[in-house]
Amino acid sequence: MKLFAVAVFLITYLLLMLKRGHPFIVLGSAIAFLLASRAINVTQMVSSINYNVLGVFLGTMILSGLFIFSAVPAYLATKLVDRSKTVGMALLSVCLLAGFISSFVENVATVLIVAPIAFEVAKKLKANPIPFLIGIAVSSNLQGCATMIGDSPSMLLALSSGMSFMDFFWMKGKPGITFAVELGAVASFYILYLLFKKYKQPVTQIEEIRVKTWVPTWLLVFMMLTLALSSFIQNKPQYTIASICIIYGIIGLVWHEFKHRESISIVKDLDWHTFFFLIGIFVIVGSLTYTGAINDIANFIMSATKGNKFLAYTVIVWLSVLLSAFIDNIPYIVAMIPVAKLVAASLGAPPELFLFGLLIGTSLGGNITPIGASANVVAVGFLRKNKYHVKFSDFIKIGLPFTVTAVSVAYLFLWFVWGK
């Protein structure tokens, strides 16, 4: 059964990566094979699904949609551009804003918000928009792992490891992953500064975006405050975090229906593809856990690194960077979270060292190539629609130094804080 579960996982992963067949058909067929072969039963299948993650994802997805509708992000972007002296600094400011927004809003949504503004600035000044759109995509991916609600891998890691919203900032008396991400951001944004500083043309004023409403912004702020306060509640119910996110999402939908009569369109435009994709991935990876394959992967890493904590940590971080440059990071991190926990337990190391390192490598590795993250695919697609073809090498010239710099700084910071 173990070999069969591994074979199903690998074939499914390969089909998804090569985009052979609709993802839901591929995942549904894989689950049917696992159930028919008794590699996993119905009870195990149901228990494999992380309902906390689904709740958080759904709630934050609704608020993200409302946040985009409010036009607040676009308004902030135009204000930043107008206050910049040169084109290079204007677009660096937009990248910084994209990073900030993606700490609380899904990365693809962030690119959809900011990309049109950066494109218009570049177009008006007759500058090549390709490096600017790439800069926005990689900035979004970087900051997406700074908070628990910033991106799907962050939610997956936090809620499968019992981490709260505040644990990303400060955990067990030590700095959390947010500090590692921000240090990496400082170093990697210097790379963007070197790339953009040559654009010294003065900024011409762009049309100011008018804010439709500030209500979604306040809902996002209050949701984050509630999540932060819930971190201090001892022995809270299992689905507290998911319930908070869903409640705020429902409040947002009710407000939107009452004020704008467009809640149906907001619900239709939600990323239901990723929502149901997550369910399928939970079941497939669950089969690896129940058949013991996850234990075997952890033992292999232990054997290959000869029980050396620093070497094992290094392998997990940089292997994640390499693989995430080419494959979807959601199924990868779902499969690797239990591996990281087992390796940490075997070495007597804090699990946070390996879990935070795994998240850094998984989230940032996608920045290397145009196919490594959904935000990259969206940015490249936006350029293609506007008659700009992005070569693989164009993306790597920015993505590779940006990623290596950010990961190196975060990787060393996590080791010095959590590895000793």
Give backbone dihedrals phi and psi of 86, rounded to 5 degrees, phi first.
Answer: -125, 165
Q: What is the pTM of this model?
A: 0.79
Q: What angle do CA 419, 227, 102 make, to 5 degrees?
A: 75
Average pLDDT (29-39) is 87
Q: How far apart are CA 276 and CA 282, in angstroms?
A: 10
Q: Specify the residue for token string 């490096």.
A: 131
The arithmetic mean of pLDDT across residues 7-36, rounded, is: 81
Predicted pLDDT at 375: 80
Tell me the pLDDT of the chain averaged across its residues. Answer: 82
Those residues whose C-beta lies under 8 Å from the C-beta of residue 53, and which sit 6 or more positions away, are: 155, 156, 159, 160, 242, 278
In this structure, of 65-69, 153-157, 327-331, the range with the lowest mean pLDDT score is 327-331
Predicted confidence (pLDDT) per residue in 179-238, tens digit: 999 999 999 888 888 888 877 777 766 677 788 889 988 998 898 888 888 877 777 777
Picking from 55, 47, 53, the residue whose alpha carbon sits closest to that of residue 289 is 47
Task: Look at residue 214 and give its three-state secondary structure.
Answer: coil
Q: Are 358 and 320 a contacting pair, CB within 8 Å?
A: yes
Query: Averaged over 299-325, what is the pLDDT?
Result: 86
Terminal CA-CA length for the chain: 39
Question: pLDDT, tens digit, for every residue of 130-166?
Answer: 888 888 888 888 888 888 888 878 888 888 888 888 8
Region 249-264: mean pLDDT is 78
